[in-house]
A and B are shown apart, each in its own frame.
Chain A
Amino acid sequence: MAKATHSVSRSLAAHAILAAYTVIALFPVVVIIINSFKSRKAIFRSPLSLPDEETFSLIGYETVLAQGDFFLYFQNSLIVTVASLFFVLLFGAMAAFALSEYRFRGNSLMGLYLALGIMIPIRLGTVAILKLMVASELVNTLTALILVYTAQGLPLAIFILSEFMRQLSADLKDAGRIDGLSEYRIFLRLVLPLVRPAMATVAVFTMIPIWNDLWFPLILASAEETKTITLGAQVFIGQFVTNWNAVLSALSLAILPVLVLYVIFSRQLIRGITAGAVK
């Protein structure tokens, strides 16, 4: 009995700590979203109250959407993120398969070489990357961003995926070989479907920094037609620094897509980390 009350008070304490921090974690996000639906006066008068009939207003969203470029920025971000993610997952899985499946000379050296990039941030090469992109006339194209993000995402992807692929049973693959499947088919048909949870983990960890990156869009693709939504929102805030309605709506619109993407992948995330390399 004494033990039971003890554990009740312990779990109450746990809930108190977690709930308190949840409020801190969500507070700024909630403030932005509720105020984006309010009239200008209400934002200043009572920033913490929910919008009601009197204070509800969509003027901010109207301003943002009338501005028009937001859709273009959104589209750019989506293209860059999806394309980079595709290449990171495909190239990463291919390389991870080669490293984990075959024994060849230089295997572990190659693994070490590819893992270097996990620790050394690609940003430190910015000066030379810009030179390279200028020389190949890729400045202010989405291709430049996709190339950079693919390179940035590959090391971690290869590291996590090869740890996973090592755990797959060899019998299945050997059975495939006996049935006459080529190595490419074994990779595509047998291995890829089995590492899907790991792919989700890699996808989340690759996607978030790409979607949110400010540095490379600022440097490599700051032209109007190649701006990403992060850079666009940054510029927008500068332009409308006194139009709180528009700024808050723009921020809310920028929060939404990444939240949706996270919810889609999050189920696999914990499973991926638990089974994965970072034990």
Chain B
Amino acid sequence: MSASEKTKRPVRWHIAVFLAPAVLVYTAIMILPLFGTLQLSLFREVDQQQVFVGFDNFRILFGDPRWSDSFWNALFNNTWFFIIHMLVQNPLGILFAALLSSPKLRFSVFYRTAIFVPTILSFVIVGFAWKLILSPLWGIAPDMLSAVGLKSLFAPWLGKTEYALTTLSLISVWQFIGIPMMLIYAALLSIPDEVLEAAECDGITGMSQFWKIKLPLILPSIGIISILTFVGNFNAFDLIYTTQGALAGPNYATDILGTFLYRTFFGFQLQVGDPNMGSTIASVMFLIILAGVSIYLFGIQTRLRRYQF
């Protein structure tokens, strides 16, 4: 009844007052700069003048060997970074959540907090701690492996081109596993008891209860987690920057789009910063993320059945 009453009032200023601060800040600091970046990618600086060049910067990024080698390398690495997260982080997160949500499990608050702790740490701490542990010099990892007679397994995982990226992905998984765990945990808790009791009456218990009843019910949450992982991974920067530096060593083996963008925009050592190419890379990242999100929204989410209790 309030709605129909309100529509008769002439101007409801309070709606504007409630919306204005958020919309203004969000538009000015987020949306406009995003379009500003897209726009910058279409220009190039010639004699200190911005000249419109259309999609030329993109052509250079994809085609000119000086740029494209780095770009495809970064894109490939970023994809691998994402694949490791999907294969390791999310299944493990679901497993932990499933274990934590079983009724009458003791110490569950303790486990939950402990597993979530790395998520709240800054990348500076995470990067440095793992550098220390894996360092052949400081040597906690070599010592621990030799204590169990596996010293031969040790390698400078962060220093070798063939292992570095996978090692960093696993460190990132270690850091962020708390998020899928929490979200799935919450989703499992919100399954009503009646549904589970009905399943038990039908003799579906234990593992088969998880696969047949709970998993289908938490599929939308798994979808959300996957898309959050995708966006987070294709926007990652800090971990690589703090452990391997802006050069994403060894020999660019850990270069992802974020570090590539940073180097291009701000320059490093002998390379001069280039805002226009930086914007071009940011625009490509924007398009990749937009494509991923659209595929999720229109391709996957609409097909997931949502259950209302």
Measured CB to CB, the residues of A under 8 A from B are: 10-11, 14-15, 17-19, 21-22, 24-29, 31-32, 44, 47-48, 87, 90-92, 94-95, 97-99, 102-104, 110, 114, 116-117, 119-129, 131-132, 147-148, 150-152, 154-155, 158, 170, 173-174, 177, 182-184, 187, 208, 211-215, 219, 230, 233-234, 237, 247, 251, 254-255, 258-259, 262, 266, 269-270, 273-274, 276, 278-279
Whether the Cβ atoms of B22 and A91 lie closer than 8 Å is yes
Determine whether B124 belongs to the interface, using a CB cutoff of 8 Å to chain A.
yes
Chain A residue numbers with a CB within 8 Å of B110 are: 22
Chain B residue numbers with a CB within 8 Å of A102 are: 6, 12, 15
Could you tell me the distance in whole angstroms from the C-beta of A227 to the nearest C-beta in chain B?
Answer: 12
Whether the Cβ atoms of B26 and A125 lie closer than 8 Å is no
Chain B residues within 8 Å of chain A by Cβ, number = 97
CB nearest neighbor in B for A273: B186
CB nearest neighbor in A for B113: A266
Chain A residue numbers with a CB within 8 Å of B21 are: 87, 90-91, 94-95
Measured CB to CB, the residues of B under 8 A from A are: 1-3, 6-7, 12, 14-15, 17-19, 21-23, 25-26, 28-37, 40, 92, 95-96, 99-100, 102, 104-107, 110-126, 128-130, 132-133, 138-140, 143-144, 174, 177, 182-183, 185-187, 189-190, 206, 220-221, 224, 227, 231, 235, 237-238, 241-242, 258, 265-266, 275, 278-279, 282-283, 285-286, 289-290, 293
Whether the Cβ atoms of A278 and B37 lie closer than 8 Å is no
Whether the Cβ atoms of B2 and A214 lie closer than 8 Å is no
The answer to whether residues A154 and B115 also contact, given A124-B285, A147-B29 and a CB cut-off of 8 A, is no
CB nearest neighbor in B for A97: B18
Chain B residue numbers with a CB within 8 Å of A170 are: 2
Whether the Cβ atoms of B187 and A278 lie closer than 8 Å is yes
- 17 additional A-B pairs beyond A124-B235, A215-B238, beta carbons within 8 Å, are A15-B105, A15-B106, A25-B177, A29-B121, A94-B22, A119-B227, A119-B293, A120-B231, A126-B37, A127-B265, A132-B32, A147-B25, A214-B124, A214-B242, A247-B128, A254-B122, A278-B186
CB nearest neighbor in A for B293: A119
A-B contact count (CB 8 A): 260
Whether the Cβ atoms of A28 and B25 lie closer than 8 Å is no
Chain B residue numbers with a CB within 8 Å of A103 are: 3, 6-7
Whether the Cβ atoms of B186 and A270 lie closer than 8 Å is yes
Pick from B19, B120, B293: contact of A95, CB under 8 Å: B19
15 contacts between A and B (CB under 8 A): A18-B99, A28-B126, A28-B130, A117-B31, A124-B282, A124-B289, A125-B33, A128-B36, A129-B33, A151-B28, A212-B122, A215-B238, A251-B125, A258-B122, A270-B182
